[in-house]
Structure 1
C-alpha cells in the first residue's frame, strides 16, 4: 500500500528517531510512505503568529503538491504539521482568505485536496488491534508505560477529529495490543510548554515538570509520545524540568513507533534509540530480562 507522506522539517533534524522508526514500522506493516516531491516547511508552531496568510500559503503549497500527485490521503507524523495543514485547508474555505493566499502562490490553489491525517491514525485505519497484535514478535508484557499525546493532537476537536479530545486512547490501545501495561495518565493532553521552550524556559520547565513528576509517581518505565516538540521538552529538557522542581528525573521518552518497533522485533538501529537524550537502556534491559524469564519458565514447564 502506497501512502502520500509529508515528513515535516523536524524529521530531517531534531526528530530523526521519529522519522526512522516511523519508516521502519510502516515498512513492517507493508505501508509504503512516499514523500511528496519538493515539499516545504509548513510554518510549524510560530508562523501563524507572524502572518496567517503566509503561514497558510506554506501549507497550501504542500497540499497542492499532494493534489497534483493524485494522493487519496496524506499522512504526517507530526501533530504541529497536521494541525497547520488542516487549519490552512479550513481557512481556505473563506473566499476572501483564499484570494489573499492565492496572491502569494505561483498559481491559484487547488479547489480540492486529499484529506490529511496522522501516521498513527493511518495505521489504525488499516490495522485493527488484533492485526497489530498478530505482528508482535517480542511482547511488551511487563513494561509499564504512560501515553502522552500533548495538546495539539486532539485539539481543536472538530478540526483534528482525533477521538475524545480530553481522553484519547489510540496509543494505549496499540501498545496494549503489544502486551504493555498502560497507566491511567490524567495529564495526557496537557501542554508541555510547546515552543515556549525557547522563549519562556521557566514556563516549559514547570509544564514539563508536572508531566514528568506524575510519570515518576506512577513508576512508569517510559513516557510514550507522538510529537517531536513534546519529545524534545520531556527528554532533552528533562534536567531543566528537574532543576525547576528541585528534583531529578531519569525517565525515557520514546515515540510510539519506537515501542511498536520493539514489539515487532525490528533492528534497533532502524529505531534510532541512540538518539534519545535519556537512555532507554534500562527499559531494554528490563524487556530482555522479562523475555529470558518467560523462556526459562516455558522451558521448565516443557521438561515437566
Structure 2
C-alpha cells in the first residue's frame, strides 16, 4: 500500500522523534509513505492570521504535487492537516485560485484517523509483540486536530477517540478526562508566557489527578509545549509521548533504544522501566 506523505516542518526539527517513529511504524505495517516531492511549508500556524491569500496558496502547492502523484495524503501534524484541508476547501469554493492545477481529487487524512480505519487496526493488532500493560495514559488532542468541523469534517470534536483507540491497541490503559481538547496555549507562548504556563500547569495537574503516567499526543506543537513548559509551571515531570512512539514500543519486543526519545525534555525511560514496559 502506498500513500503520499506530507511531513511538515516540525518533523524536520523539534519533532524528529515523531518522524522516526512514524517511519518505523509504517514500515512494519507494510505501508509505504511516499514523501511529496519538493514539499514546502504549509504556513501553519501563523500565515492565516497575516495573509489570507497565502494561507490558501502555500498549502495548495503541496496539494498540486500530491495530485500529480495520484495518491491520497496523510499528514501527521494536525496543524498541517488543518491548513491543507482549508486550502482544498477554499479552492473548491473558488475563493482563491492558485497558480498550480488543484482539482480536489486527493483525500487528505489526519494520521490518527487514517490508522483507526478497521483494515489498518487489523494490521496493528497483528504486530503487537510487547503490549504496554500497566502504562496509564490520557490522550490530548489539542485545538487543531478536530476543529473547526466545517474544515476537518469531524463530528466528534468535543470527545474525539482516535488517540484513545490507538493507545489502547498498544496495550496501554487509557484514562478518561475532560481536558483532551482544551487549549495548551502554544500559539500565545511568545506574547503571553504567563497564560501559556498557567494552561500547561492546569493540563499537567488534571492528567496527574486522573492517575496518568503520561500524556499521548499527535501534535508537535502541543508535545513541545507540554514537554518543555512543565518545569516553568512548577510541576513534577510527566512524559509526553507521540502516539506512534507507543505503537513502536508495542511492536518492538526487547529491541527498544533510548535514542528513540532523545528529543524529549522529560525523559520517559525511567518511568517505562518502572512500569516494566521494557522487557
Q: Does the TM-score normalized on the shorter chain lie above 0.5? A: yes
2:152 corresponding residue in structure 1: 160
CA deviations 1:55-112 (Å, max 9, x no partner) are: 21100000000111111x10010000000000111111233x324xx3xx3xx43223
- Tell me by how many angstroms 1:209 deviates: 1.3
Q: For residue 182 of structure 2, give the secondary structure of its aligned residue in structure 1.
A: coil
2:278 maps to 1:280: no
1:181 corresponding residue in structure 2: 173
2:67 maps to 1:80: no
2:22 corresponding residue in structure 1: 22
Matches within 5 A, 1:38-53: 38-53=38-53
Answer with 252-261 or 198-207: which moved more. 198-207
2:90 corresponding residue in structure 1: 91
Query: Number of paired residues?
Result: 278
Which entry has the higher C-alpha Rg, 1 or 2?
1
Residue 256 of structure 1: which of 230, 238, 243 is its match?
243
What is the TM-score normalised by the length of structure 1?
A: 0.86
- Tell me by how many angstroms 1:125 deviates: 2.3
What is the TM-score normalised by the length of structure 2?
A: 0.93
5+ unaligned residues in a row in structure 2: which ranges?
none
Matches within 5 A, 1:154-303: 154-162=146-154, 164-242=156-234, 248-265=235-252, 267-269=255-257, 272-288=260-276
Distance across 2 between alignment mates of 1:81 and 1:129: 24
Q: For residue 268 of structure 1, give the secondary structure of its aligned residue in structure 2.
A: coil
1:56 corresponding residue in structure 2: 56
Change (3 A) 1:223 1:80: same
Moved over 3 A (4+): 126-131, 266-271
- Over the residues paired in the alignment, what is the CA RMSD in angstroms? 1.9
- Is 1:3–1:74's contact at 8 Å kept on the other side of the alignment? yes
Change (3 A) 1:273 1:291: closer
2:110 corresponding residue in structure 1: 118
- Tell me by how many angstroms 1:156 deviates: 1.1
Distance across 2 between alignment mates of 1:30 and 1:128: 10
5+ unaligned residues in a row in structure 1: which ranges?
243-247, 293-304
- Tell me by how many angstroms 1:197 deviates: 1.7
1:301 corresponding residue in structure 2: none
